[in-house]
Chain A
Amino acid sequence: MTINALPPALIMILGGLLVPLFKGRARQALLLLLPVISFVNLLQIPVGSHWILPFLSDQIVLGRVDKLSLIFGYIFHLIAFLSAIYALHVDDTVQNIAGTVYAGAALGAIFAGDMFTLFAFWELLTISATFLILARRTERALGAGFRYFMVHVAGGLCLLAGIIMHVSQTGSASFGLIGLGTTASWLIFIGIGVNCAWPILHPWLTDAYPEATITGTVFLSAFTTKTAIYALARAFPGTEELIFIGAAMAAFPIFYAVIENDLRRVLAYSLINQVGFMVVGIGIGTALSINGAIAHAFNDILFKGLLFMTMGAVMYRTGKINATDLGGLYKSMPWTCAFCIVGAASISAFPLFSGFVSKSMVMEAAALGEMRWVWFILLFASAGVFHHAGIKIPFFAFFSHDSGIRCKEAPPHMLLAMGISAALCILIGCFPQYLYSLLPYTIDYQPYTTSHVLAQTQLLFFSALAFTLLLLAGIYPAEIRSINVDADWFYRKGCRQIYRFSRWAFDGINEWADRTFAQQFARLLAQFFEDPGANLQKYGYRLLVETSGIEGQHEQTAGKISSRSRSASYPVGIGVLLAVMLLALTSMLLFLM
């Protein structure tokens, strides 16, 4: 089949590599144009599988276009474009290339029709994302980037092992429904789970995203976890394990978010919380829940991107991001503040904002499936997310106590990117049918019923009431300059203990061996072979003296042995005796053999 288009990932990736050839305005234009050209190219590709090439005994498919991959394709292009606007001031070749290639890699992964292509783009995601972290060029970013890379390489290898086993068992590399069962499927499942930031596998996210560059974090928040959500929706829909994993993801990060000081880290925790809703949706596996999961991924990319943009703008202008250092910025940055509140309302799922129209689908699917505990946990997480992302972020950055910081409003290109994102959040919230028409399953879902709007408003207002009363009563935890250890403790501290233990154990063996063999034993040997004949005689003499107990002038005797040996002046008789003894020994040996 011949079509007048290029594979979906090609333009962004090749275009990204062309970036170093351009400077100044031309580069800015290129960075803005690439997502647009790539999007136009995507629209030219008809539904179906394209660019099928032979590979080993199988084939690779560079463009599998259907409703599931298309909706991710649309939102990835949109956020790539918005991020490019937001990052327009960044004149750093590393970041310019990494951001563009990163978006391209995500496109490649979601349009991959086979597992090998998926894996290749999966790894490219890791590599390009690592550079967005390293580009901050601080010591902490270096450490976080390194850990990010190691964790994702481990996850990638797990995925690769699963893919190879799966392909050899089934004989097909095509990437479709897998479902849990075989070892291969578990390996693929866990490999995807690393990128999806499942509990215990998650700390790469909360570790690295707040250490990345201001604009890098906006890119990062969109692609890696959402690509994993896509892969789960493709390969493991209706897998019950995902319901429990997702519920845990939705619930535990909110506790961390409440006590976290770094506001971008608060957002990182709430990112895991939101992805939890998507994972639950995929786990339930009904048309409504999967639609809900994907709609929520779409919305989350926008509102989480928006929130990271606003916090990035604060950081760009003030150089600070800890809640303890900020406050009262609404006077200096009123527009950023307003956009932040829109993002906060969207993530909290206020009626008329985007989160409302997608989160409710997952909740309703859980209720329809009679999953009471899951439903209660998700409701708890809904209240909690409002608490930390909805109120805490805008309140501590823009209101709270006046930090005394007076700065300029965010630069125009940042305001533009935030403004478009905020407008889209409201647009989707008010007219959800446009989003719904893009979803993989055709369903008739109405989010705006009186019951539902009332229920959600009550939930949120009373959560806000709890915040207000706790704050006024002084119970709300004060922000403290600190860090909170998470599961990454096991490899950040634990690995150091392993290192220390192995250093103690192996260095100990090494030192002992060095002392014993290299120093003492070698010295003894050297001493002995300096004058072996005399030493043997002296040893024999000493043995004789000790066993017989004869007292005499042993020192003199030993001296005599030494001088005799040195001058080789042995009496002839002894020489003859030794020669005879040697002869006797030799003939005996010959005779015996």
Chain B
Amino acid sequence: MFTTWKALIRKDLRLFFSNRRALLMSVAAPIAIASFFGYALGGSGNAEHSKIPVLVADQDNSAISKEIVAMLAASKELDVKPSTLDAARAAVRKGKAIVAIGIPEGFGADASKAFFGGAKPKMEVLYDPSHSAEQAMVAGILTGEVMQAVSKETFSGPTGRKMVDDSLKRLEGDSSLPPAQKQALIGLLRSVRSWNDQNPGDSGQNSTGGLTMPYEMHAKAITSGSGVRYNGYAHAFGGMGIQFILFVGIDIGIGVLLLRQRGLWKRYRAAPLSRATLLGSRATSAAITSMFVLMVLFGFARLVFGVRIEGSMAGFLCICAAFSLMTAAFGLLIAALGKTPEATRGLAIFVTLIMVMLGGAWVPAFIFPQWLQSATLLVPTRWAMDGLDAMTWRGLGFSAAIGPIAVLTFCALLFGVIAVARFRWEES
């Protein structure tokens, strides 16, 4: 029996390795795509982030508006270019700019007054609706810069001095306010004037004035350890590995259907072989092939892109083995449920791509809506993906691998049982 088992596995591996085109597709294609995705997702952590292109139409040309434009231009996240409002609108419509900011005439003066209850001026922010995330980011930066520029000018610049003097005169002649409130506001404005008198001619020259954020943010990427950078290639190679190994699973299933079509299945069935030998040997060779592809992919990622197994190596290998087994069972399931190779291939590819997408192999699952994130826990590829992430760049221990290993092994058993139950042993 072992001779037969060995011969069947040897034959499958021989067929796999003799088909150079298929081998190339199983190994080179995922390497190429994963390299691209890895680079796009931040690479090894050394790549510069691209800046968001922003057009600014300053129709005010006040000290405040100039200060806002200067602050935006100094931002590391933005690539600011001056424009007119019409040109900026046209550029956003054509997709040539993501966000455009229109600062209307009189914005500086109106914004200063608005500090003390005047009408609020409107700043126009135009954006490409396909880039709402970038728009939100620009809006956040803009809010901070406007607050700082306006408050600085209000409390220390010429505009602010004039505004304080005017407000004092108006208050002193105002009889509508209760005396206590009137005295408090007059006191506040006199204090501001006194401050201004002690710090003359500071407007626009010193960027440290005005209201600033009352805290500093210290962002820190949490990876497997201090000094270890996030490596986008780790996720990309895991994702593409999963996708292309599932394609190997499809080939395994289609291969069985082709055996039937070519009459080879009759030779197998005519021999005194158990069903366990026939399907088991097929599953074993499929698992070996899948494991081989995963090892080649991660070996390449290690050598070329420095992807390391920062977590448990045993956990990583067990997840790879469990996923390979699941792929083998998935292949048998295709063989059991499929009718003809032609009809089955398209459907199997569709199902695989859905599984891969929901598993977070293309884009991380956290960008999905919450309900979808919960739903994807039913998809085995999600567990494989999370497990590989955990063992590679997250650097978690073996305990984090137990869940994925258990789920993938369970899926392998489930697929295997259904495949054996539904397998057509007789041909009509």
Whether A associates with B in a native complex is no
Interface residues of chain B, those whose CB is within 8 Å of chain A, are none
Interface residues of chain A, those whose CB is within 8 Å of chain B, are none
